[in-house]
Amino acid sequence: MLMREEKYKEFLKKINERLLTHRIIQNNSYCKWFREADLTLKQVKDLTVQFSVFSNWFLVAQLKKTINAPDLESMRAAKEILANEIGVLYHKKGSKPVEGLDYPSEGSVDGGTFHFTAGHFEWLLKFAKPLGLGFKDLGHRKHGTESTLFFVDELDRIYGSEDFTTSVGASYAVEHWAHLGFWKDLIQGLTNFKEKSGIKIPLGFFIWHDLVEDQHAAHTDEELKEIYMKDENFDEELFIRSGNEMLDGVAAFWDGLFKTC
Ligand SMILES: [Fe+2]
């Protein structure tokens, strides 16, 4: 057991060196630019539309992750995210919602209530409305650019994979990408835009996601350790390769937005 623990530490080192160094984690040109830019309405609309396509189609990948889970515990972990995405509120005894946030950011969907308006897509609709975007403008494949659709399809292929090591590699990569800051760049850029333009966009969707990412990243850390400790033959190379392929998909998404701005 102790030897396995040592091996796990070695493996984490490899992950740090060969996965978390991916350029889209280390240097996301679009988000860097977005944070400081004097954004036009068109640029904010473009982000919103492409994000809505990703956000909507992420549901399919998350459902596949749930269905393909190798055990009940993993299935529940995947369902937590899926159910919350479609509108089941997190629920934790005694916890109070963070001030200024529409919905609780801690707890489990077990015992939580469902609200249509709490579905992340509807939340994004609320954000998009003051920009002049409605339901018909958002979330479908026909609204996605080639780069966004590549990302969405890679999510389906890798994150939603039947092979557990592949899907765990992808979710580890996705959660660590999300955890390492892009929400903060978007929030800053959108706050600047809101102040300058006077358009009253509600930023709750972005602020909430930034807050929960810490929890998600911690979950994928636990998930990885558990699998690794249990499986002597854990395929490290497949995990790292899958994570990197997933991040190439993520990079295509941001690069696509950068090309059109
Ligand atoms: Fe979400």
| Domain tally, the chain | 1
Q: How confident is the model over 191-237, as pLDDT tens digits?
A: 999 999 999 999 999 999 998 887 777 778 888 998 899 899 999 99
Give the model's pLDDT for residue 100. Answer: 66
In a domain, 31, yes or no: no
Domain-embedded: residue 132: yes
Q: Does 176 reside within a domain?
A: yes
User: 104-156, pLDDT tens digit by residue?
Assistant: 888 899 999 999 999 999 999 999 999 999 999 999 999 999 999 999 999 99
- Find the 138 Cα to ligand 1 centroid distance in Å: 15
101 within domain boundaries: yes
> Quick check: is 8 in a domain?
no
pTM for this predicted structure: 0.92
* Ligand 1 centroid from CA 82, angstroms: 9
The structure tokens 């590699």 sit at 169
* 257 vs 59: CA distance, rounded Å: 21
Parent domain of 188: 39-260
What pLDDT sits at residue 199? 97
Q: Is residue 25 part of a domain?
A: no
> Rg for the chain (alpha carbons), in Å?
18
Q: What's the 205 CA to ligand 1 centre distance in angstroms?
A: 8
Question: How far apart are the CA of 209 and the centre of ligand 1, in A?
Answer: 6
Q: The domain that contains 119 carries what CATH number?
A: 1.20.910.10
Residue 225 lies in a domain: yes
pLDDT of residue 162 exceeding 70, the answer is yes
Kindly tell me if the per-residue pLDDT of 99 is higher than 80: no
CA of 187 relative to ligand 1 center, distance in Å: 15
198: region left, alpha or beta (phi > 0 left; psi from -120 to 50 alpha): left
For residue range 1-38, list pLDDT tens digits in order. Answer: 678 899 999 999 999 999 999 999 999 999 999 999 99
How many angstroms is it from 207 CA to the middle of ligand 1?
A: 11
In the reported structure, the alpha carbon of residue 57 is separated from the centroid of ligand 1 by a whole-number distance in angstroms of 11
Residue matched to tokens 């998909």: 249
